[in-house]
């Protein structure tokens, strides 16, 4: 597979993932895939660090500046401020040389969604306020934008699972077989004497098993809430969320 084919496949996977895209095939960009290109130095610091570098206790080199952190923490009003405490170090002091452009970094921030509508009707599902957004993760590449997209797809598959709309296991085997043999809409002929534009019309196929994007998203959630990543990062929040749901994604029989 060529690099171009990998990028197309990665985009298709992201645009059809029930956690990343609210609706199957919805364009990623501007909805839940915020991306950019930044100038970097050889130390991988963006241009906004040209004068000062912001570091946190979670950074590898924070012990070098422990005394400054301890001093800064005395100004914090509560534990939350202490948790996110940071200090700014002059770039030249940290690296012994001025910031100089070296390469570009391509990055993206991903969010994921959970359907929270009262029903699985199109009116509710197409209402943005019924889709809850949660912070996902960041991805970056120093090679190219294409490389970043492929990397994003790999990480989504790892964390949010190898799922795509209209594909098993989001659909049961019965639903897959139904969709392979039945079309959502059927063509019907108009009555004799009707206007030309009304000669052929469409209506919903009563034999088609409709599994909406909202349903498939909730089925994905059934899997996600059991993963170690979700239990660690979102366990308590999703426990509260699911406790308030009238249709809990604990079994396909409910949705």
pTM for the model stands at 0.74
**CA–CA–CA angle 232, 107, 61 (5° rounding):** 65
Backbone angles phi, psi at 140, to 5 degrees: -150, 165
Q: What is the pLDDT of residue 77?
A: 77
Q: pLDDT, tens digit, for every residue of 196-254?
A: 555 557 788 889 998 889 999 999 998 998 899 888 888 777 777 776 664 444 333 33
Are the C-beta atoms of 189 and 200 separated by less than 8 Å?
Answer: yes
Q: pLDDT, tens digit, for every residue of 129-166?
A: 888 888 888 888 888 989 999 999 999 999 999 999 88
* Mean residue pLDDT across the chain: 83
pLDDT bucket at 100, cuts 50 / 70 / 90: very high
Are the C-beta atoms of 112 and 32 separated by less than 8 Å?
Answer: yes
Q: pLDDT, tens digit, for every residue of 84-95?
A: 788 888 999 989
Q: Using the predicted structure, report yes or no on whether residue 27 has a pLDDT greater than 80.
A: no
User: DSSP letter at 255?
Assistant: -
Helices and strands, counts by H and E, the chain: 10, 7
Q: pLDDT, tens digit, for every residue of 41-63?
A: 999 999 999 999 988 878 877 78
């Amino acid at each position: 597979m060529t690099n171009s084919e990998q990028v197309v496949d990665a985009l298709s996977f992201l645009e059809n993932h029930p956690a990343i895209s609210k609706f199957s095939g919805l364009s990623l960009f501007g909805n839940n895939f915020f991306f950019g290109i930044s100038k970097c130095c050889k130390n991988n610091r963006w241009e906004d660090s040209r004068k000062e570098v912001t570091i946190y206790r979670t950074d590898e080199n924070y012990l070098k500046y422990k005394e400054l952190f301890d001093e800064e923490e005395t100004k914090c009003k509560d534990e939350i401020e202490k948790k996110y405490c940071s200090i700014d170090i002059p770039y030249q002091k940290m690296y012994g040389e001025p910031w100089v452009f070296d390469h570009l970094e391509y990055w993206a921030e991903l969010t994921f969604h959970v359907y929270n509508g009262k029903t699985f009707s199109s009116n509710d599902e197409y209402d943005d306020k019924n889709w809850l957004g949660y912070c996902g993760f960041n991805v970056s590449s120093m090679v190219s934008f294409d490389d970043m997209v492929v990397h994003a797809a790999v990480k989504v598959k790892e964390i949010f699972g190898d799922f795509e709309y209209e594909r098993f296991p989001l659909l049961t085997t019965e639903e897959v077989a139904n969709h392979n043999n039945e079309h959502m809409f059927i063509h019907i002929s108009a009555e004799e004497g009707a206007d030309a534009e009304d000669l052929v019309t469409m209506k919903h196929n009563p034999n088609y098993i409709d599994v909406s994007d909202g349903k498939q998203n909730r089925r994905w959630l059934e899997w996600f809430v059991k993963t170690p990543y979700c239990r660690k990062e979102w366990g308590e929040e999703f426990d509260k969320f699911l406790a308030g749901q009238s249709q809990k994604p604990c079994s396909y029989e409910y949705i």
